[in-house]
Structure 1
């Protein structure tokens, strides 16, 4: 695998029905309200927006999100990503136990010059940074769903 190429998968068990979780995840412009590492999310039109994220490490990643698939019946939200990272991401929301299982898959190539330069020595740290961000997102969404 190329050192600037990443694949991620996260599984979130959430205490709400799939339709409620799907509705929260499809509103990316609300992510900064419950996901601390999503610093900004701005909708440009019905199918595109800009997102900036920053986790523990002192760098931000900004990218455009372009909707590829929105299928509430299948529980799928998929987007193309371009900017500091290029690739795709997908949420798959299904019933799981007493609530919902939200699966996040992402495959990207890092384009930000500093991250490309540090790709080999920094890879384990970058992956850990992403994992911390995803855990915080799960906690934030869980709290938001429990408050509703």
Structure 2
């Protein structure tokens, strides 16, 4: 097992139309407005930006995100990441009940030295940290969608 490789999946049930959710999620530079752990997004060009995240644990992750797919018809947004983490992430937006299901999937390898050093004993803590970040992101997005 590669202790520095992670796969994450989250499913968010959201009280808004799929098109509305997609429009919010495609504006990554606005994530810090509603997702507390996304501390900074600096756009480099139309398809690339540098992102800084920090959850409960006292470390920041910096990575460059490059858009690999933007398909409103299919409800898919995907990026490739390089930096402290390397891999990919994807949102898939579909109708669900009276609102939207937003499926987040991610596969990354950790390059940040601190996380590599504590890969084995820290793995459960790192995974819990990610779950907390995703939970806060969903709460923030729900509040944001209700305000707009």
**Which sections of structure 2, spanning at least 5 residues, go unmatched?**
none
- Residue 141 of structure 1: SS of its match in structure 2? helix
**Which sections of structure 1, spanning at least 5 residues, go unmatched?**
none
- Residue 73 of structure 2: SS of its match in structure 1? coil
- 1:63-87, Cα deviation, whole Å (9 max, x unpaired): 0000000000000000000000000
The correspondence of residues 1-148 of structure 1 with structure 2, limited to 5 A, is 1-148=1-148
Question: Partners of 2:131 and 2:87 in 1: how far apart?
Answer: 18
RMSD: 0.4
TM-score (norm 1): 0.99
- Residue 20 of structure 1: SS of its match in structure 2? helix
Structure 1's consecutive aligned runs of 4 or more residues displaced over 6 angstroms after TM superposition are: none
Question: Partners of 1:42 and 1:116 in 2: how far apart?
Answer: 26
How big is the shift at 1:129?
0.1
How big is the shift at 1:42?
1.1
TM-score (norm 2): 0.99
Aligned length: 148
